[in-house]
Amino acid sequence: MKKINLAIVGVTGMVGQTFLEVLEEKDLPIENLYMFSSARSAGKKITFKGEEHTVEELTETSFDRGIDIALFSAGGGISEKFAPIAVEKGCIVIDNSSAFRMNDDVPLIVPEVNGEDIRNHKGIIANPNCSTIQALVALKPLDEYYDIKRVIYTTFQAVSGSGLAGWTDLEEGLKGNPPTNYPHPIANNCLPHIDSFVDNGYTKEEMKMIEETKKILHKPDLGITATTVRVPVFNSHSESINLEFNKPFELDELKEVLEKAPGIVVEDDVANNVYPLPANATGKDEVFVGRIRRDESLENGVNLWVVADNIRKGAATNTIQIAEWIIDNLM
Amino acid sequence: MKKINLAIVGVTGMVGQTFLEVLEEKDLPIENLYMFSSARSAGKKITFKGEEHTVEELTETSFDRGIDIALFSAGGGISEKFAPIAVEKGCIVIDNSSAFRMNDDVPLIVPEVNGEDIRNHKGIIANPNCSTIQALVALKPLDEYYDIKRVIYTTFQAVSGSGLAGWTDLEEGLKGNPPTNYPHPIANNCLPHIDSFVDNGYTKEEMKMIEETKKILHKPDLGITATTVRVPVFNSHSESINLEFNKPFELDELKEVLEKAPGIVVEDDVANNVYPLPANATGKDEVFVGRIRRDESLENGVNLWVVADNIRKGAATNTIQIAEWIIDNLM
């Protein structure tokens, strides 16, 4: 296997740091690893697999050195400016921002779900929104078996989804200090407001879940709605998902479908108080699914409770799994 | 107006204390106020409207003194044993436990919603589950206008719903101590588990929301499902509610229906980050409704975010509003 030159853009952020953590655990064939950040963090030393690296300022010439794959997680503005430059130099960009996700010629990828879509890439591959990724890992096998007709998402999202600023707001809020990131205190509160509001009364986060789900499932006409809520939890998102299928199902079979699906751990033994919990999902790469039960208000309905580490599977791990898929299949 | 003799059973509990708080603010025509508790708390002195009362142990003879109305909030076992005794002595019992809620001859009452059902009482009137009450205040006017076909509840419930034991678990959990009330830590976590599990995989809390909603709306065949979740918030429950109507609606008109309905405050100005928040609802008697937006996945669907103080409107206030209704209409 060819060894690759890998770059991380936004290495000092929360997701950037988790890229390094996940890469330390995995065994990607990396020849050279380049670390980029804004001017502010440039010059910082970071040790990766026992070797010291110096963080470089990201500039227009950063990709002039034969970088094969770049993992971007430095915000939409940076992606919009530098991803096309990287692509022009022959680099494949896997982008964590929302900048390119809905572009027709940018595959939006959860490897277990639609890895094959990567083949259509034109240089940029988008990593979906964190809350979309974990939902899709559970929805895809069910869609294959039972043909999903309608989805109702309600999320319980951790502050790490807002990066260090969100984390600090909760940490300080628990000490009684006012927020600086969120418009209201997050400690001892639930904020039905993630990202900004759009004209139809939804938040961008809700619209991301709706539009990205349709794109990843290749179901542009899927019925789907979402309510996304920030809760006072540091890490790992939880989701209550209500599904309606076109086809009938047996609950035992449906559970088996989930158990056998890639990337899922079914935790559903309520008699012993076993169900997915954000406190348990943190630090793990799988998506945890439980509270699997028939929705009696419908012919073919089911309720699920889906939990995952939003910084790992919801961002860093998924991005690196995309890189692995590329290395395994395209290089 | 006749002055009444009022008793509080479970006066030292969280709801019992809030009964006194709400009664202090209101002006019920009370002749004598009697305070009952278990033997453990008997003898305690409690000042109400400047007058010292002594808490008495609840016994089989406690109601042998012409008590007109008794507010019970001491758990299902106490209600089951003592409510029939009180009724036999001519007392009307308003019960906060789940013991009698689904009995055919016990009205289940949210005064703004179905106060008239009180007329059918046979001595016991049940106060619904906290999460049901706040939902119904919002659902009732919408059902009248648009005929609700299906309801999907997802709740974000505060620890005060578990009384002092839940409160302590969160307080201690935030200091890093393990839980003694919940089966898992509640600090920095979300528990999709409120009350015990039943055979169909739902919790009793979820089944209460389902069955009580049908009873209060007089719609035994309503399509309805629920996922109830405990979140690390001290007080006030939040609910994400997805509704399907049989009749079409205009969003502006629907908002007006909610604005004009009794007991509701619409907080829905997302451009200015105004939406209901548990931190703001605490200490108030109204139900706060916001994030009102069309569910585009359906012909006639809407999403709502509904927040209320679960100890006040969800328990103490609603119970006292029932007592007021009785005083105004039946005495």
How high is the mean pLDDT of chain B? 97
With 80 as the cut, is the pLDDT of residue A124 above it?
yes
- B247 in helix, strand or coil? coil
Q: Where are the alpha helices (DSSP H) in chain B?
A: 14-25, 76-88, 111-114, 130-146, 163-174, 204-217, 251-260, 278-281, 317-330
The CA distance from B278 to the nearest CA of chain A, in Å, is 6
Same domain, A74 and A173: no
pLDDT above 90 (res B122): yes
Query: Which structure tokens are listed for A3?
Result: 């060894």
CATH for B94:
3.40.50.720
Is residue A29 a contact partner of residue A4, using CB atoms and an 8 Å limit? yes
Residue for token pair 């998102």: A237
Reported as a single tens digit per residue, the pLDDT across A24-54 is 999 999 999 999 999 999 999 999 999 999 9
Burial class of B236 by CB neighbour count within 10 A (0 to 12, 13 to 18, 19+): buried
Q: Are B19 and B46 in contact (CB under 8 A)?
A: no
**Could you identify the residue written with the tokens 């989701």?**
A239
Helix ranges restricted to H, B195-285:
204-217, 251-260, 278-281
Question: Angle CA(B24)–CA(B216)–CA(B308) in degrees, nearest 5?
Answer: 45
> Do B224 and A295 meet the contact criterion of CB atoms below 8 Å apart?
no
Closest in B232, B240, B276 to A232, CB measured: B232
Q: pLDDT tens digits, residue range A128-157?
A: 999 999 999 999 999 999 999 999 999 999
Q: Can you give the pLDDT at residue B22? A: 97
- pLDDT at residue B249, as a whole number: 98
- Give the pairing type, strands A4-9 and A69-72: parallel
pLDDT band at A166 (very low <50, low <70, confident <90, very high): very high
Contact A95, A85 (CB under 8 A): no
Judge if A215 and A186 occupy the same domain.
yes
Distance from C-alpha of B284 to C-alpha of B8, rounded to nearest angstrom: 21
Q: Is A283 on the interface with B (CB under 8 A)?
A: no
Residues A188 and A152 in one domain: yes
What whole-number distance in Å separates Cα of residue A223 and Cα of residue A71?
32
Q: Is the dihedral of CA B138, A206, B229, A243 positive or negative?
A: positive
A272 touches chain B (CB under 8 A): no
What secondary structure letter does DSSP report for B179? P
Whether B80 and B109 share a structural domain: yes
Average pLDDT over all residues of chain A: 97
Q: Which residues of B touch A190 (CB under 8 A)?
A: 156, 231, 233, 238, 277-278
User: pLDDT-based confidence at A103, cuts 50/70/90?
Assistant: very high
Domain of B255, CATH number, reads 3.30.360.10
Which structure tokens are listed for B129?
């589950």
Query: For residue range B169-193, what is the model confidence (pLDDT) as tens digits?
Result: 999 999 999 999 999 999 999 999 9
Name the domain count of chain B. Answer: 2
Q: Where are the alpha helices (DSSP H) in chain A?
A: 14-25, 76-88, 111-114, 130-146, 163-174, 204-217, 251-260, 278-281, 317-330
How many other C-beta atoms are found inside a 10 Å radius of the C-beta of residue A300?
A: 17
- Shared domain check, A289 and A210: yes
Tell me how far apart the 2 most distant CA atoms of chain A are, in Å.
Answer: 60
Model confidence pLDDT, tens digit, residues B206-248: 999 999 999 999 999 999 999 999 999 999 999 999 999 999 9
Burial (Cβ within 10 Å: 0-12, 13-18, ≥19) of residue A305? buried
**Distances from the Cα of A121 to the Cα of A78, A80, A108, A130, B206, angstroms:** 20, 17, 9, 21, 45
- Three-state DSSP state, A248: coil
Considering A53, A91, A121, A237, which one is annotated as catalytic?
A237
Place of tokens 């907080």: B267
CB B248 within 8 A of CB B147: no
Structure tokens at B31: 């002749």
Instruction: Give how far Cα B74 sits from Cα of A123, A200, B11, B16, B39, Å.
Output: 65, 46, 8, 8, 13
Residue B289 is predicted with a pLDDT of 98
Chain A touched by B204 (CB under 8 Å)? no
pLDDT tens digits, residue range A224-247? 999 999 999 999 999 999 999 999
State the Cα–Cα distance between residues A150 and A159, nearest whole angstrom.
28
Q: pLDDT class for A119, splitting at 50, 70, 90? A: very high
**Chain B residues in contact with A232 (beta carbon < 8 A):** 188, 231-233
B10 DSSP 8-state letter: S
CA distance B138 to chain A (A): 17
- Clarify whether residues A171 and A253 are in a common domain: yes
Residue B208's CB is within 10 A of a number of other CB atoms, namely: 23
Chain A CA closest to residue B282? A189
- Of the candidates B15, B20, B31, the one whose C-alpha atom is nearest the C-alpha of residue B65 is B31
Residues A304 and A209 both lie in one domain: yes
DSSP labels for B158-169? -GGGGHHHHHHH
pTM confidence score: 0.97
Residue range B99-105: average pLDDT? 97
Contact B184 A273 (CB under 8 A): yes
Alpha-carbon span B54 to A17, nearest angstrom: 61
- Do A154 and B150 count as a contact with CB atoms less than 8 A apart? no
Distance in angstroms (rounded) separating the CA atoms of residues A111 and A92: 16
B271 CB near a chain A CB, below 8 Å? yes
Report the amino acid identity of residue A275: Y
SS3 B54: strand
| B81 and B227 in a common domain | no
Q: How far off is chain A from B222, nearest CA to CA, in Å?
A: 8
Output phi, psi for B154, to 5 deg: -130, 120
Q: Return the closest-CA partner of residue B322 out of B134, B210, B313.
A: B313
What per-residue confidence (pLDDT) applies to B4?
96
pLDDT for B1 beyond 70: no
Question: In this structure, are A165 and A80 located in the same domain?
Answer: no
Q: What is the DSSP string of A119-179?
A: GG-SSEEEPPPHHHHHHHHHHHHHHHHH-EEEEEEEEEE-GGGGHHHHHHHHHHHHTTPPP
Confidence tier at A2 by pLDDT (50, 70, 90): confident
- Domain carrying residue B64: 4-128+315-330
What pLDDT was estimated at residue A1? 66
**A152, B1, B169, B242 from B12: Cα distances, Å:** 41, 29, 19, 37
Domain identity same for A181 and A298: yes
How many angstroms away from the CA of B197 is the closest CA of chain A?
Answer: 7
Hey, what are A124's tokens? Answer: 């940029």
A93 and A238 together in one domain: no
Tens-digit pLDDT profile for residues B280-328: 999 999 999 999 999 999 999 999 999 999 999 999 999 999 999 999 9
- Asked if A88 and A139 sit in the same domain, the reply is no
Count CA within 13 A, CB hemisphere, residue A259. 9
Q: Is B181 on the interface with A (CB under 8 A)?
A: no
Q: By the CB < 8 Å criterion, does A189 face chain B?
A: yes
Contact B237, B314 (CB under 8 A): yes
Q: In what order do the strands lie in the sheet with A264-266?
A: A223-230, A148-157, A237-245, A301-308, A287-294, A264-266
- Structure token pair of residue A239: 């989701």
Return d(Cα B135, Cα B239) in angstroms, integer: 8
Write down the pLDDT at residue B2: 81
A325 token code pair: 């898929």
